[in-house]
């Protein structure tokens, strides 16, 4: 119960604590959740682009490694073309597999 500021010597301290508690509760329920959501979005975007870079570098490295391996058995020009066909075939099969896993949108 609020006291009379003229007769209660602790009214300033009590009022300050009440205001601080109220502001802290509001901040905990609003600002902290917004900060968590924004951090999730930012780290998600960063993770997506890093994953994309890693995937591209993996494709480049595997193509080059396959070219070097096929160079043992074939001429360099044929090894390059064969590596493109092999990597392209693997990616095509992966795409066909993923297409079978998609959900249809029949109404």
Q: Where is pLDDT greater, at 15 or 62?
A: 62
Specify if 107 maps to a domain. no
At residue 73, φ and ψ (nearest 5 deg) are -100, -25
Instruction: Give the CB-side neighbour count of residue 70, counting CA atoms within 13 A.
Output: 19
For the stretch 5-60, pLDDT in tens is: 677 778 788 889 999 999 988 888 888 888 999 999 999 999 999 999 999 999 99
* Total domains, the chain: 1
Specify if 3 maps to a domain. no
Q: How far apart are CA 75 and CA 100, in angstroms?
A: 37
Specify if 90 maps to a domain. yes
Length of the chain counted residue by residue: 107
* Full domain range(s) for residue 22: 11-100
Specify if 61 maps to a domain. yes
Q: Where is pLDDT greater, at 80 or 8?
A: 80
Q: How far apart are CA 18 and CA 27, in angstroms?
A: 14
For the stretch 81-105, pLDDT in tens is: 999 999 999 999 999 999 998 887 7
Specify if 105 maps to a domain. no
pTM for this entry: 0.64
């Amino acid at each position: 119960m609020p006291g009379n500021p003229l007769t209660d010597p602790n009214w300033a301290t009590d009022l300050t604590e009440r205001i601080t508690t109220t502001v802290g509760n509001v901040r905990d329920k609003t600002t902290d959740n917004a900060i968590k959501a924004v951090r999730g979005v930012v780290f998600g975007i960063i993770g997506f682009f890093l994953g994309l870079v890693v995937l591209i570098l993996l494709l480049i490295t595997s193509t080059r490694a396959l070219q070097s391996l096929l160079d043992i058995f074939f001429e360099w020009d044929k090894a390059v073309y064969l590596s493109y066909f092999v990597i392209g075939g693997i990616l095509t099969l992966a795409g066909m597999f993923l297409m079978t896993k998609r959900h249809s949108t029949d109404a």
